[in-house]
Structure 1
Amino acid sequence: MNGKMDGRADGNGRGYQASGDQHIIEHYHHGEAGSVAWAGVESVRQPTGGAAPMVLRDRTELMERLRAAVAPGASNQVYVLHGMGGCGKTAVARTLFQFATTEGNRVGLWVNAADRTSLRSGMLAVAADRGAAESELSAARNGLRAPADLVWKRLGKSEYPWLLVLDNADDPEILQDGGWLRASPRGTVLVTTRRAGVHWWPHAELHHVGVLPREAAAQVLCDLVPEAGTMEEAAEIADHLGRLPLALTLAGGFLSHQVIDPWTMTKYGRHLDGQGRVDLIDQGATALAREDARHLIARTWQLSLDALADQGVQESTALLRLLACYGADPLPLTLLNSPQINRAVPRARAEVALRGLLDQSLTAVVDAGVRCVQTHALLLASVMADMPREQVAQLTSTAALLLDAVVPAIPERGRQDLRMSLLAPHVLALLHHATDASVVAAALDVAVRLACALHRTGDYLSAWELASAAAAITEPKLGPEHRTVLSAHARTGRALFRLGRFAESETVLRHVLAVRERLFGPDHPDTLDSYFGINHPLQQLGHVTEGITLLRRATDGRERVLGKTHPLTLQARAHLLEFLPIAELAAEVDDAAMPLPQECALHLGPDHAVTLGARLSYALALLRLGRFEAAVEDARQVAEDYDRHHGPDYALTLSAQLLYARAQAALGHMDSAVELMTVVAHRRELSLGAEHPYTTRSYELLEELRAKAACQSADYR
């Protein structure tokens, strides 16, 4: 062997073909990928979205049909409950869920399907509940394996029959795009949605859930406040509220919490008569004949807030308006425990304000893995629409500051923080609501950092969805050449690369690079970041020379602008070791005053992500140079350290073990190399799937090693 190697693209890394038929695969995750250990919602065994009704009124025929759907032997069917917001679809689903898990001997699984992130997180938690391995879940979460396929494979193998509820599926495209909605012979699926179009729900059995009949609606109020009036008085109030279950629940919550001077239903009705109309419609559902849902909700929540103000808890109004700046998904309560909340609600009064909202049934505390507050989407929309314009600007600014306080300024690699995943839909909701340019820019900066944080835990799908959606929302508001909009696009391109969509990644990153060069010049940190980032898809697409040229620009520019020992400079220098021609590589390694890994450890510490990445790149460089004994020891040590820090299924742990196996083979230790490659190939199959190109390539390398081991054994004989 003469050590000569030429580069070629292979999967998500770069392969090196040696004259001695050596193949080394190095995956580009340095400084980017995070721990791939599974983290998700704490449980899918409990419904979310508020408390179950005391008694489910009316709905008799519907419940009979649904109970039959979870009877012994019933399966392989999808049922869809559709109707306007606030009509009680979730209440019906909750009631069936309780019946199925207590009397139907079924496993109950509940997933919030309101947005892509919540749906995917919940469905992967379903897969975990049904026995999916951590490596399978990690690969699905970071986009290296089709998540829906994994979920339905596990549901199909469930030992026990199940009921799966997909709640709040008001955007059916999400279910269709991901292949999430399927039938299974092992269970029954129940969907709640506002969208009634038959084309959204092929092969499903649809059931409309409308407003309640007059008598049943009156009985709901009497269930909640039996001493407040007669059935006829309750019926009159129900008529005023359009017999909408959510409006009735809010009204009952108000009446049941009047202690010093309890209201009668008659008094409550007189106040309803005096309410003005809010000109809104409940989008995506059939409207009421005379009144729309948001108008009816507005009538009830304002009375509740007035009552709280009379009791000295006027801060509840400000808190509800602040919550309206976010989305209807579970919102971590830690977000409200920040000094920044003083701009909207005195921090010392935030607890009292929240308790007031809870007492009036205006919001609920739920467990989504961490303690959260969750408010009905229709109520939030009504509050936001009724908010004075000047307050929208002030409160969205405060909402952005609260998010800014909890999202890391410089996200680190590590295990998934569930709070970060839960914040994604709220950042997007805030970007939709914000109109002031400074607030939009501040919220977008949070969105980019949050996408980066998700990216660095290996949740590439969520990072891509958040970054691309944030860019789409804010580009019309801030302009296509706004610096933070460009950062959102850049983050989108980086996530696309991790998802294996190299051509799309190159297109996005090339556009960002061109604009940054024109606006900021070649030495701006953002432009240098573009030089560095675009190298990865360029290498995979075969544009090797261009990629190296741009990586050199990034390295030289970072050294000039940031200094030779800055982490980003050291990171770029490490990456060069993977791509330099052999002659230049030898000079880079031999002429250095100190080996690059030692330099990184000196300035950053031995366990820093850049240091570990530099050690892996340096071991690869030694192998490329034919210095096998040094390479095998360095590869062994870095593989052990990656395993210690991130676990055996971490992408770079496997890359380091693969490199170690190749170095062992180069020294003739074929049995050890085969044993190690067997583990690598098996773990990649578990985490990526049997058809993934990385898995295929690993097994190809394993067969090559086995063949060489057989030849070696024959020679000895």
Structure 2
Amino acid sequence: MSEDASLRAAAYEQGRIFQAERDIQITEHHHHGAEIPSASATGPASVRVALSPPLRAALRDREELREELLASVGSGGGVHVLHGFGGCGKTAVARWLFDRTASSRVALWVDASRESQLRAGMLAVAADRGASPEEVRAAQEGRRAAADLVWQRLDDSPEPWLLVLDNADDPKPLRDGWLRTSARGTVLVTSRQADDPAWRGVRARMHRVDVLPVAEAAELLHDLAPGDHQPEATLRLAERLGCHPLALTLAGGFLSQQLLESWTVEEYLERLGEDPVALLDRGAGLESGARERLSRTWQLSLDALAQRGLPEALGVLRLLACLAPAPVPVALLAPSAVLAVGAPGLPAERIEAGLRGLLSASLADLIEVPGYGGRGPVRCVTAHGLLLETVAAGVPRQQRAELFAAVARLVNRAVPQTGEVGNTRLVEPHLLTLLKARSTAGQVVDAARRVRDAHDSAGQWADALPFAAGVVEATAQEGKARGIDKVADLMALGRIIVMMGDFAGAEPIIEEALDAATAWAEESPLLLAQAQVQAVVLYGRRGRSADALKFGAQAYETRQRLLGPTHADTAEAIHLQVESHFHLGNFGEAVQLAQRLVDLLPRLHGQRSDEVAALALLNCAAAMREALIAARGPQALVDDAVRALSWDQVWELSRETVRTYVAHFGPSHPLTATARHNFAVVCWERGDKEAAIGEIRAVVDFRTSVLGEHHPFTIQATADLARMMGLNGDMERASSLAARAHADALRLLGADHFITRLCRDALRPAERVSWAELRRRNASENDRRPHGPGAEGHPQEQP
């Protein structure tokens, strides 16, 4: 070996070299430190060209960020870090800034994804800024501090510059002096790391790059795949992809480059449900790298975390992937909770470390969600839906069932046996996801029932509906929808649909429950009585008052015989008969039954005694009110019980009813609005017009905000408000209200519906027909109508 040849050897990282010279004199050379390429190692072909794919379309959104970056480049100096989730467009923003400034200053681009590439690229920057080959060679061989050379040349640069350090997802090498500030230029770093000593050391300005707003996401799709696509479908696709820029780019690339087929956006959306990640990756180019494929871009971050000693990050992400793409309360991930359910492959003591790793790599975020009902904020973890889908698809088959079962137990533990709705709000999306999954539905059905019942009791029927429907479907799939549970679940679902105003939709469900309960009549007669009560409520709103009265009498007979006359459930059957009687125009019977019931209320017992007492008071007050209105008719046959009534008496009972509802249900419960509606009508009939209009207007406003303007109860209250305003002389506004209510009722309920007739009558307040007369006519006609599938019903809310 010649002397020249022997001295060309080099050591890397922790390597050692033994050199023999002449008389077998051995010299041992140690090298401690980072990798140093040999003198002959090659750097990047250019640092004056952006090493990222060209932008496929114009950038959408990011205007404020782009303006700030441009201004910073113009003023010179400082370090800016673009951080965020993989595929959210950090490099795209950097590429835009690079192209925008290249004509006015020196624009330099370095690939910082690996330490060796960072080192080679930065030394090439030094050479570009005037370093001699000898200086660069000395830095390569470790005879000169490489980072000092680079920044000396950048500081001495005659031209201002922009330096982009792209994909610095592992910022550790930057801490060795490669990241500094200079008065001659601006540094822009892209990284998935949201927090690192490297950023703090140079006081970097941090800029989070997130998913796009939905409108801009849809525009990006249109830019990438122009054509005759339906705007609504494009918007749905953007939402389905979570407005994730890389996913949008891949979808747009696929739709624009099809050769053998030509899918519409709707067809693409449909196929996306089969295997979203695989389909999206088909939009990548043939030479696309890992960062340009959805299946790989996030795996890069997970691999990096594993190399840093955080393999548990994948376990935490798999646990999150079993849940809904919604905020997850950190309490749900508490080590004690995870330990109790035995999540596979996830040591409880390493959960926090794994979660911190996800947060640092921007694979998850820690946010605060406002607590329900004025409670304090709740710390939650979030992750992008597509990431969760990707991770879920990668769970080994042998672990999948065990993992989902553990998560189901975890969510079950988070739903209290009793309590307010607010305690479960943030868990509910995850419970619903597990309820819809066939593998876990049976494990969470009891928790779903508890949430359903809590929302039902609070009058939050729209929130209760998915759980009620999910329970019925889940038990049917599991083969457990038999007997008492089936009837109870069907009744709960039917009741909730009734309260949401879809009376026709509730009818087949409640009638199925009634049929199932009839089969259990001998073994459980009280179950049949409960199904009959549900039928009474439904048929009363459908206008089938005779059927309602029949089932109410049957339920009363069973409950009176088995529970006694003073049980709350018996009283419930009585007050429903009161309602049926006055809907049929049987005011004498209704008043007599109501007075008997009022006398009975103080002696009620049973679990629901307070609730039934409130409901009974309202029906009694309404029966007396309608009887007094009907007694004004020119041909009215006034019963002795009605003749003994006075408006002062009914007004006092109605006011007491409102107080009782507020005390039991609360002032903001939808049922309390029903008591206030009744009180408004009584005030009007008693002559207190201002109080009546103020009260009914408040009811309309409340129902509009809580139930929606198209709910039958809201429409009816609006018609009553229009009637009162018209009779009070405010014809212009009354006509507008009545016309709107009538149009809604006609469209939603049909021309013959009782509420539609009430709205029609409100259009002609001078020709006013009493509420009682309208109901009497409706009941008379309805009870002559055929009923069954397809028969049109007539819901009515008891004001």
For normalisation by structure 2, the TM-score amounts to 0.49
The Cα offsets for residues 620-646 of structure 1, whole Å up to 9 and x where unpaired, read as 344445333433212112324545676
Q: Is 1:676 the counterpart of 2:674 in the alignment?
A: no
Match in the other structure for 1:429: 433
Paired letter, 1:401? R
Secondary structure of the residue aligned to 2:540 is: helix
SS where residue 327 of structure 1 aligns?
A: coil
CA distance in 2, matches of 1:521, 1:192: 64
> CA distance change for structure 1 residues 599 and 335 in 2, over 3 Å: closer, same or farther?
farther
Cα-to-partner distance string for 1:14-42 (whole Å, 9 max, x where unaligned): xxxxxxxxxxxxxxxxxxxxxxxxxxxxx
SS at 1:595 equivalent: helix
Partners in 1 of 2:523 and 2:392 — Cα distance?
44
Does the CA contact (< 8 Å) of 1:340 and 1:398 recur in 2? no
- Cα distance in 2, alignment partners of residues 294 and 562 from structure 1: 64
What does 1:40-59 align with in structure 2 at a 5 Å threshold? none
Report whether the alignment pairs 1:575 with 2:573: no
Check 1:463–1:618 CA distance in 2 against 1; reply closer, same or farther (3 A cut): same
- Displacement after TM superposition at 1:323 (Å): 2.3
1:201 equivalent in alignment to 2:231: yes
Structure 1's 212 and 644: CA in aligned 2 closer, same or farther, altered over 3 A? closer
Residue number in structure 2 paired with 1:402? 410
Structure 1 513/635 Cα, relative in aligned 2: closer, same or farther at 3 Å?
Answer: same
Task: Please give the alpha-carbon distance, in whole angstroms, between the structure 1 residues aligned to 2:657 and 2:548.
Answer: 26
Instruction: Give the equivalent residue in structure 1 for 2:296.
Output: 296
1:320: which partner in 2?
Answer: 317
- Larger mean Cα displacement after TM superposition, 537-546 or 689-698: 689-698
Describe the shift of the 1:402–1:542 C-alpha distance in structure 2 as closer, same or farther (beyond 3 A): same
Q: Give the count of matched residue pairs.
A: 476
Q: Secondary structure at the match of 2:324?
A: coil
Q: State how far apart, in whole Å, the 2-side matches of 1:403 and 1:333 are.
A: 12
Q: SS of the residue aligned with 2:366?
A: strand
8 Å CA contact 1:636, 1:660 repeated in 2: yes
Give the residue type in structure 1 aligned to 2:393: A
Aligned partners of 1:555 and 1:378: how far apart in 2?
Answer: 55
Q: Which amino acid aligns with 2:621?
A: A
Contact 1:635–1:659 at 8 Å: present in 2 too?
yes
Cα distance in 2, alignment partners of residues 587 and 90 from structure 1: 76
State how 1:108-507 maps to structure 2 within 5 Å.
191=218, 199-202=229-232, 209-210=245-246, 282=277, 285=280, 287=282, 288=284, 295-296=295-296, 299-300=299-300, 303=303, 306-307=306-307, 310=309, 314=312, 318-337=315-334, 340-341=337-338, 342-344=340-342, 350-369=351-370, 370-389=378-397, 391-409=399-417, 417=422, 420-435=424-439, 439-468=440-469, 471-472=472-473, 475-478=476-479, 489-507=490-508
**Residue 598 (1) aligns with residue 602 (2):** yes
CA distance 1:526–1:423, change in 2 (3 Å): farther
Which of 615, 618, 633 does residue 620 from structure 2 map onto?
Answer: 618
1:635 maps to 654
RMSD of aligned residue pairs (Cα, Å): 5.2
**For residue 693 of structure 1, what is the aligned residue in structure 2?**
715
Residues 277 and 295 of structure 2 are in contact (CA less than 8 Å); yes or no, is this contact kept in structure 1? no
- Supply the distance in 1 between the matched residues of 2:470 and 2:322 (Cα, whole angstroms): 17
* AA of the residue aligned to 2:386: L
CA distance in 2, matches of 1:318, 1:289: 31
Q: 1:468 to 1:65 in 2, by over 3 A?
A: same
The answer as to whether partners of 1:464 and 1:491 remain within 8 angstroms in 2 is no
* Aligned-pair CA distance for 1:470: 5.6
Distance 2:365 2:476 in 1: 34
- Relative contact order (alpha carbons < 8 A, sep ≥ 6): 1 or 2 greater? 1
Q: Distance in 1 between matches of 2:483 and 2:319?
A: 27
Q: Does the 8 Å contact 2:578/2:591 carry over to 1? A: no
Shift of 1:684: 0.6
Alpha-carbon separation, structure 1, partners of 2:561 and 2:353: 54
Residues 335, 402 of structure 1: 8 Å contact kept: yes
1:598 shift after superposition? 2.0
The structural deviation recorded for 1:202 is: 4.7
Residues 167 and 192 in structure 1, CA contact (< 8 A), matched pair in contact too? no
Bigger drift between 644-653 and 499-508 goes to: 644-653
Which one-letter code corresponds to 1:631 in the other structure?
A: V
1:328 match: secondary structure: coil
Report the CA distance shift for 1:702/1:510 in structure 2 as closer, same or farther (over 3 A). Answer: same
TM-score (norm 1): 0.53
SS at match of 2:277: coil
Q: Distance in 2 between matches of 1:460 and 1:701?
A: 29
Asked if 1 retains the 8 angstrom alpha-carbon contact of 2:575 and 2:594, the reply is: no
After superposition, the Cα gap between the structure-2 partners of 1:351 and 1:532, relative to the gap in structure 1 and judged at 3 Å, is farther
Counterpart in the other structure of 1:108: none
Indicate conservation of the 8 Å contact 1:502/1:540, yes or no.
Answer: yes
User: What secondary structure is seen at the aligned counterpart in 2 of 1:371?
Assistant: strand
**Alignment identity in percent?**
22
Cα distance, 1:468–1:365 mapped onto 2, change above 3 Å: same
Query: More displaced, 475-484 or 502-511?
Result: 475-484
Q: How far apart, CA to CA, are the structure 2 residues paired with 1:89 and 1:578?
A: 63
Question: Considering only CA atoms, is the larger Rg found in Structure 1 or Structure 2?
Answer: 2
The 8 Å contact of residues 322 and 395 in structure 1, kept in 2 or not, is answered as yes
Uncovered stretches (5+) of structure 2, i.e. residues with no partner: 1-51, 68-84, 97-209, 239-243, 250-273, 371-377, 628-640, 730-764, 768-799
Q: Deviations over 1:497-539 (max 9, x none)?
A: 2232211111222223323433676736654443222322312
Q: Secondary structure of 1:88's match?
A: coil
1:702 maps to which residue? 724
- How far apart, in 2, do the equivalents of 1:640 and 1:574 lie? 19
Larger mean Cα displacement after TM superposition, 364-373 or 644-653: 644-653
C-alpha distance in structure 1 between counterparts of 2:92 and 2:578, whole Å: 61
Equivalent residue letter for 1:549: K
Q: Report the counterpart of residue 510 of structure 2 in structure 1.
A: 509
Which SS does the other structure have where 2:386 is aligned? helix
Contact 2:494 2:506 in 1 (8 A): yes
Return closer, same or farther for 1:614/1:408 CA change in 2, 3 Å cut-off: farther
Change (3 A) 1:87 1:589: same
Counterpart amino acid of 2:303? L
User: C-alpha displacement at 1:326, in angstroms?
Assistant: 1.0
Deviation at 1:430, TM superposition (A): 1.5
| Worse-matched range after superposition: 644-653 or 394-403 | 644-653
Q: What are the superposed Cα offsets for residues 680-705 of structure 1, whole Å, 9 maximum, x if unpaired?
A: 13541564277752233312552587
How many Å separate the matches in 2 of 1:541 and 1:466?
A: 25
- CA offset at residue 452 of structure 1? 3.4
Partner amino acid, structure 2, of 1:695: A
Please say if residues 452 and 463 of structure 1, whose CA atoms lie closer than 8 Å, have aligned partners that are also in contact.
Answer: yes
The alpha-carbon distance between structure 1 residues 508 and 646, as it changes in their structure 2 partners (threshold 3 A), is: closer
Residues in 2 aligned to 1:539 and 1:384: alpha-carbon distance in whole angstroms: 48
SS of alignment partner, residue 367 of structure 2:
strand
Cα distance in 1 for partners of 2:304, 2:574 equals 62
Distance change >3 Å, CA 350–CA 204, structure 1 → 2: closer
1:537 and 2:538 are equivalent in the alignment: yes
SS of the residue corresponding to residue 452 of structure 1 reads helix
